[in-house]
């Protein structure tokens, strides 16, 4: 149906029946938009003092999360950072669960016990969001080791920022994964800033991840991280390599965050015009154009836009109405018996 | 029944669990082909093969991180950190990752793993290869912490640790590796969170852990023979969970409490136990509880210096005698 229509209207030389196809493109668009709308809502709710604690938004970086997640199969595992809302949403976790956690409500993903920086949904393959820089790279190696040992075909995908490339765990994990030939894919989202400092000011090489790949006999891979199609194809290739038993990949995706590092950061350290320049390469804008190139009508796009906004609006209302967590969960799940007893 | 070393008990304990469960895997530096720097893992590589017994690079963060990722997704890893002092370079996993993931995820994440490590002094290795780090671990909610003093306890508590669904820090004492003890034939499985009364007595309770256990036992024999003081010696064995009932029961009987701790004095495990006894058994006490510890200094390397800082049977005898007889 849609495919036939779109084939007829596809841009020359890049028809809709290409390797990605219309269904996946619409999914990529929807995924990016969900992240954009949910993150923007998180920011608005923070201004209303309804999102507490810290939060690290991925506004502007949506294509990386969506491209890698949409290329995954069920059972593949995501390991995220404290900037992990995007990767969590991209695996299909509901906006309500994510916003609920940010708003510290009982309907949150972890009922308020983890918070923004630790989003986890194992049923969706989201194996945690890690707030100690670099900690999850070795952990992803361990999950990949289990797959290798048991003959499972899942891939562990580990997302991190450019700043992570200067911490020891990054180098330990890369070497470990390469020596053990583990089915793990390391994705560096290079958004140009290590928190408040330009990554180039504190790193010996221009490309903080890719320029280190050779040290671990890995291919040097740098991609534009704001084009979801490029990201998706890169992910597919890396996952296939991992599943074939050919070892890890390290991918550096160039992108840019539209907001500050965290809610506390107005990002005044940026040179004038930089944000505006990157906003011209806004992944959502790029992808909307891309869909149109492939013949997707405005009506279809507007339909997705409306559905996503409704999901975010409904989630917001549900979270506002949700109770705060009950105090009796304070002492649950410290130990595997469900409790917190350390003595008899 | 056979007499084996503490070192061989480690090998037998790991082998027992790896034979029982294919999900038990083992990784660490020099542990496979070389059999471990303390020779406490000799033969495991040959018995269980290169997929289950794996040498790693010198990457303590990668070792513990990989153990955690494997544990979260279905394996039951045993990770070795060669010297417990090296916990300091991978403490993120011990302090932030293993023990908090279950809680932060509201119960979604599991972490059934064991970290084995060579702990404690007596080898003249100096301040960075001799520490007793049990108090570093005990203070973290979500961890379990075990330190056996005899070969049979090594096997039984290691088996219990591997079968436990929580992350367990398993502290092997380096100076105990060559010591011997009787071990029954067949499978041995003990229980975490249980202290053991090794020598019953009426006049005072001496609590000890790991290398301090044989020293406390020796001191108790001398106190009885030389001074007529009859001490009860309790091997604490498990700091978390802590068998408070056995400890409180012993104090209720003897009315006097001594702790013998190898860790440096500040925030040592004995301080926590003394505070529990003060809270809950104050009126059972006939005299103030006394902590016998290593002083609050880094450990020196030279024989003569190291020997004098660790609690010795002489120091225990002297402290108990002076407390009871003035």
Region B110-130: what's the mean pLDDT?
97
Per-residue pLDDT at A105 exceeds 90:
yes
Per-residue pLDDT at A186 exceeds 50:
yes
A9 confidence band (pLDDT: 50, 70, 90): very low
DSSP 8-state symbol, A10: P
Domain with CATH 3.40.50.920 in chain B: 196-325
Per-residue pLDDT at B71 exceeds 70:
yes
The residues near A204 (Cβ < 8 Å, ≥ 6 apart) are: none
Helix (H, G, I), strand (E, B) or coil at A327: helix
CA distance A47 to chain B (A): 25
Helix (H, G, I), strand (E, B) or coil at A92: coil
Long-range contacts of A36-41 (CB under 8 A, 24+ apart): A36/A62, A36/A284, A37/A95, A37/A308, A37/A309, A37/A311, A37/A312, A38/A85, A38/A89, A38/A95, A38/A98, A38/A99, A38/A312, A38/A315, A39/A85, A39/A86, A41/A95, A41/A99, A41/A312, A41/A315, A41/A316
CB-based contact A129:B105 (threshold 8 Å): no
CA-nearest of B137, B138, B151, B132 to B261 is: B132
Of all residues in chain B, what percent carry a pLDDT higher than 70? 100
CATH number of the domain that A148 lies in? 3.40.50.970
Of all residues in chain A, what percent carry a pLDDT higher than 70? 95
Let me know if residue A332 belongs to a domain: no
ipTM of the complex: 0.97
CA-nearest of B13, B80, B11 to B39 is: B11
Let me know if residue A71 belongs to a domain: yes
User: Helix H segments across A19-131?
Assistant: 21-47, 62-70, 85-90, 95-102
Let me know if residue A53 belongs to a domain: yes
Helix (H, G, I), strand (E, B) or coil at B39: coil
Let me know if residue A325 belongs to a domain: no
Region A86-109: what's the mean pLDDT?
98
Per-residue pLDDT at B82 exceeds 50:
yes
CB-based contact A262:A256 (threshold 8 Å): no
Let me know if residue A340 belongs to a domain: no
Q: What is the pLDDT of residue A8?
A: 39
Q: Which strand (E) or helix (H) includes residue B219?
A: helix B212-227
Probe site for chain B from A138, A183, A185 (most B CB atoms < 10 A): A138
Of all residues in chain A, what percent carry a pLDDT higher than 90? 90
User: Helix H segments across A218-328?
Assistant: 228-243, 274-279, 283-293, 298-321
Domain count, chain A: 1
User: Helix H segments across A130-227?
Assistant: 136-150, 168-180, 210-213
Q: What is the pLDDT of residue A17?
A: 60
Q: What is the pLDDT of residue B140?
A: 98
CA distance A147 to chain B (A): 9
Helix (H, G, I), strand (E, B) or coil at A127: strand
Let me know if residue A334 belongs to a domain: no
Domain with CATH 3.40.50.970 in chain B: 2-183
Query: Which residues of chain B lie closer than 8 angstroms to A333, CB-CB?
Result: 102-103, 106-107
pLDDT digits (tens, 9 = 90+) for B250-291: 999 999 999 999 999 999 999 999 999 999 999 999 999 999
Q: Which CATH superfamily is domain B2-183 in?
A: Thiamin diphosphate (ThDP)-binding fold, Pyr/PP domains (3.40.50.970)
Look up the domain containing A153 and give its range: 17-319
Per-residue pLDDT at A2 exceeds 50:
no
Q: Which fold has domain B196-325?
A: Rossmann fold (3.40.50)
Helix (H, G, I), strand (E, B) or coil at A118: helix
Do A142 and B245 lie within an 8 Å CB cutoff? no
pLDDT digits (tens, 9 = 90+) for B3-58: 999 999 999 999 999 999 999 999 999 999 999 999 999 999 999 999 999 999 99
Q: Three-class SS string for B160-190?
A: HHHHCCCCEEEEEEHHHCCCEEEECCCCCCC
Q: What is the pLDDT of residue B94?
A: 98
pLDDT digits (tens, 9 = 90+) for A312-333: 999 999 999 999 999 999 999 9
Tokens 């180098």: give the residue. A171
CA distance B93 to chain A (A): 8
Region A242-247: what's the mean pLDDT?
98
Per-residue pLDDT at A4 exceeds 50:
no
Probe site for chain A from B105, B141, B167 (most A CB atoms < 10 A): B105
CA-nearest of B39, B37, B51, B33 to B10 is: B39
Region A305-311: what's the mean pLDDT?
98
Closest partner residue to A169 (CB to CB) among B65, B166, B276 is B65
Per-residue pLDDT at A30 exceeds 80:
yes
């Amino acid at each position: 149906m849609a495919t036939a229509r779109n084939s007829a209207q596809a841009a020359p030389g890049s028809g809709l029946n290409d390797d990605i196809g219309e269904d996946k493109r619409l999914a990529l668009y929807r995924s990016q938009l969900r992240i954009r709308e949910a993150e923007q809502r998180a920011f608005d709710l923070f201004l209303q003092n309804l999102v507490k604690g810290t939060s690290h938004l991925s506004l502007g970086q949506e294509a990386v999360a969506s491209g890698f997640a949409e290329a995954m199969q069920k059972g593949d595992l995501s390991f995220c950072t404290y900037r992990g809302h995007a990767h969590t949403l991209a695996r299909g976790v509901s906006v309500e669960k994510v916003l609920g956690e940010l708003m510290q409500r009982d309907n949150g993903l972890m009922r308020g016990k983890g918070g923004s920086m630790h989003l986890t949904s194992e049923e969706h393959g989201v194996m945690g969001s890690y707030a100690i820089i670099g900690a999850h790279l070795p952990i992803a190696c361990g999950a990949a080791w289990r797959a290798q040992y048991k003959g499972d075909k899942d891939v562990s995908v580990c997302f991190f920022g450019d700043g992570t490339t200067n911490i020891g765990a990054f180098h330990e994990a890369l070497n470990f994964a390469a020596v053990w030939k583990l089915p793990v894919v390391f994705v560096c989202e290079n958004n140009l800033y290590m928190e408040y400092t330009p990554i180039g000011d504190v790193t010996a090489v221009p490309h903080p991840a890719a320029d280190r790949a050779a040290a671990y006999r890995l291919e040097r891979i740098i991609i534009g991280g704001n084009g979801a199609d490029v990201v998706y194809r890169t992910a597919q290739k890396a996952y296939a390599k991992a599943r074939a038993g050919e070892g890890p990949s390290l991918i550096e995706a160039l992108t840019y965050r539209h907001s500050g590092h965290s809610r506390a950061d107005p990002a005044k350290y940026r040179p004038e015009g930089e944000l505006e320049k990157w906003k011209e390469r806004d992944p959502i804008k790029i992808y909307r154009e891309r869909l149109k190139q492939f013949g997707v009508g405005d009506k279809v796009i507007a339909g997705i836009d409306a559905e996503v906004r409704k999901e975010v609006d409904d989630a917001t209302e549900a979270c506002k109405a949700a109770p705060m967590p009950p105090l009796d969960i304070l002492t649950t799940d410290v130990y595997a018996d469900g409790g917190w007893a350390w003595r008899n | 029944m056979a007499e084996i070393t503490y070192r061989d008990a480690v090998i037998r304990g790991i082998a027992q669990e790896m034979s029982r469960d294919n999900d038990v895997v083992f990784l660490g530096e020099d542990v496979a082909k070389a059999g471990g720097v303390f020779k406490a893992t000799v033969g495991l590589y040959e018995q269980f093969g290169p997929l289950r017994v794996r040498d790693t690079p010198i990457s303590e963060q990668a070792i513990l991180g990989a153990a955690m990722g494997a544990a979260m997704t279905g394996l039951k890893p045993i990770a070795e950190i060669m010297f417990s002092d090296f916990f300091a370079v991978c403490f993120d996993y011990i302090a932030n990752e293993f023990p908090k993931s279950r809680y932060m995820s509201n119960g979604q994440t599991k972490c059934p793993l064991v970290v084995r490590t060579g702990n404690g002094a007596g080898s003249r290795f100096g301040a960075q290869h001799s520490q007793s780090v049990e108090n570093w671990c005990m203070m973290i909610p979500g961890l379990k912490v075990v330190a056996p003093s005899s070969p049979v306890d090594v096997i039984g508590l290691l088996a219990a640790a591997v079968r436990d669904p929580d992350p367990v820090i398993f502290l092997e004492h380096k100076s105990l590796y060559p010591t011997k003890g009787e071990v029954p034939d067949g499978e041995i499985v003990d229980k975490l969170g249980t202290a053991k009364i090794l020598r019953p007595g009426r006049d005072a309770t001496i609590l000890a852990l790991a290398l301090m256990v044989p020293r406390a036992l020796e001191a108790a024999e001398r106190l009885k023979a030389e001074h007529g003081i009859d001490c009860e010696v309790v091997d604490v064995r498990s700091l978390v969970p802590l068998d408070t009932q056995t400890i409180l029961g012993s104090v209720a009987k003897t009315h006097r409490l001594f702790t013998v701790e190898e860790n440096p004095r500040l925030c040592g495990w004995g301080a926590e136990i003394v505070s529990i006894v003060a809270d809950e058994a104050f009126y059972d006490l006939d005299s103030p509880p006394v902590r016998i510890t290593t002083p609050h200094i880094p450990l020196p390397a030279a024989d003569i210096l190291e020997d004098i800082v660790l609690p010795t049977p002489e120091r225990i005898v002297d402290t108990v005698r002076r407390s009871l007889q003035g």
